[in-house]
Structure 1
Amino acid sequence: MIIAGILGAEAGFWIALVLALAARYLLRRRTLSTVLLWSLPVIDLALLAFVVIDLARGSAPTPSHALAASYLGFTIAFGHPLIRWADATFARRFAGVARPPKPAKGSAAYVRALWVEWLRVVLAAAIAAAILAVLALVVRRDPLPSTLEAAGTNPLWAQMITLAVVVAVWFLAGPAFARTTPETRTSS
């Protein structure tokens, strides 16, 4: 049931976003577009309420509940850049706006973008961890785990471990070894 809620929230996000951008660029209805864009956080709040109500009614925490918390963390942290990307894509396609140049690999702008993206991952993980902690409080059946093994047996606490691994891997795959190159230092 929770997976259906996550899929519904994801579908609702994309439907509302496409409708908002279509209203803005095809119908030239900026107010309608703005109202539809404001519905995006409401979709996230509806998913959060759905998960909290499910746990408050006595459901045992599952990996699906933990996944919902992670989904919410990442949609909150990455939602604005994703909306900006979609808006720019619609603007290019329907308003004739030119594509902005991508920063050259190894340029200061490229390295800065990797760091900003990783910091968004850290923010997403922190938001998800906060939601997971609130969900654990709602459940109130499982005390704070005292060992890593105990945390691994509870889906909510195990997800926090997974989030830490995601943050570490993203750091190593992204900004950890990114450096500006001599060629791009002079041209940046």
Structure 2
Amino acid sequence: MIVTLIVVCEVAFWLLLAGGLALRYLAKMPRAGAAVLLCEPVLELVLLVATAVDLKNGAEPDWRHGLAAVYIGYTVGLGRATIRWVDAHVAHRFAGGPKPPKPPAGARERAVHEWRTAGRWVLAAGVAIALLQAAVWYVGGDAATGTLRMWQQKMLWVIGINLVIALSYTLFPKKPAGPAAGGTDGAAAEAGRTGAVEADRAGTRPRH
């Protein structure tokens, strides 16, 4: 039942997202679209309650309950970012909005961007770990909770990987692609020197 409910919630998430954006940009009903998008958290609440009821009825904790916790964590940590990403692309495609920006090229700006992304993943994994721990306490110490602990370990790996990626952009910043040997200032200086030489050859360069 839990796996089926997860699939239903995932499908409903994208249906609500598509419906909300269609109302906002195609039907020109922004308030109705916003109201539909605000229904998204209800899906996570339904899944959380269903998981708790399933455990309370004596179901042995397994990978399905762990997956439900991870799904809820993902929607909490990255659900809004996902909606904003899709919204920006739909606005650009159907409403003449600006082209969605790419990750910044500057070293400092890119590092900040990566830390923000890592923060969302850390939040998602942290929520999942907390829900998994709550499930462990909920079913009691005598139940087999090894699968839930395994999911917690996986979430710790998710946190570690994202922190390493963000840290790498801080310690080893990537230089943005651009003109070599001095960039714009170097090119301007070179143009100035070339112009001075040409003026001198033509006899128009002022003498001091």
TM-score bucket (shorter structure): 0.7 to 0.9
How big is the shift at 1:183? 5.1
The size of the alignment, in residue pairs, is 177
User: In the alignment, residue 35 of structure 2 is paired with which amino acid?
Assistant: V
Corresponding residue number in structure 2 for 1:82 = 82
User: 1:136 is aligned with what amino acid?
Assistant: V
What residue in structure 2 maps to residue 148 of structure 1?
A: none
Q: Which moved more, 1:128-137 or 1:39-48?
A: 128-137
Q: CA deviation at 1:132?
A: 0.9
What code does the residue aligned with 2:80 have?
Answer: H
Q: Which residue number corresponds to residue 163 of structure 1?
A: 155
Deviations 1:21-72 (A, max 9, x none): 0010001112211111111000111111111110011100011101110111
Q: Do structure 1's residue 23 and structure 2's residue 14 form an aligned pair?
A: no
Equivalent residue number for residue 177 of structure 1: 168
Contact 2:63 2:147 in 1 (8 A): yes
How far has the Cα of 1:157 moved from its partner?
Answer: 1.6
- The residue correspondences of 1:82-121 to structure 2 (distance < 5 A) are 82-105=82-105, 107-121=107-121
Distance in 2, matches of 1:114 and 1:182, equals 15
TM-score, structure 1 length as denominator? 0.86
Structure with larger RCO (C-alpha < 8 A, sep 6+): 1
User: Could you tell me whether the CA contact under 8 Å between 1:136 and 1:142 is conserved in 2?
Assistant: no
Return the alpha-carbon distance in structure 2 between the equivalents of residues 104 and 31 of structure 1: 32
Gaps of 5+ in 2: 178-182, 185-208
Q: What does residue 3 of structure 2 align with? A: 3
1:122 corresponds in structure 2 to: 122
Task: Give the alignment's TM-score, normalised by structure 2.
Answer: 0.78
Deviation at 1:105, TM superposition (A): 4.2
The CA RMSD measured in Å over matched residues stands at 2.1
> Is the Cα–Cα contact under 8 Å of residues 66 and 156 in structure 1 kept in the other structure?
yes
**Alpha-carbon distance in 2 for matches of 1:158, 1:182:** 39
Question: Higher Cα Rg: structure 1 or 2?
Answer: 2
Amino acid at match of 1:69: A
2:120 maps to amino acid? R
Q: State the 1:165 CA deviation.
A: 1.3
Determine what percentage of the aligned residue pairs are the same residue: 34
Taking the aligned partners of 1:183 and 1:28, their CA distance within structure 2 comes to 40
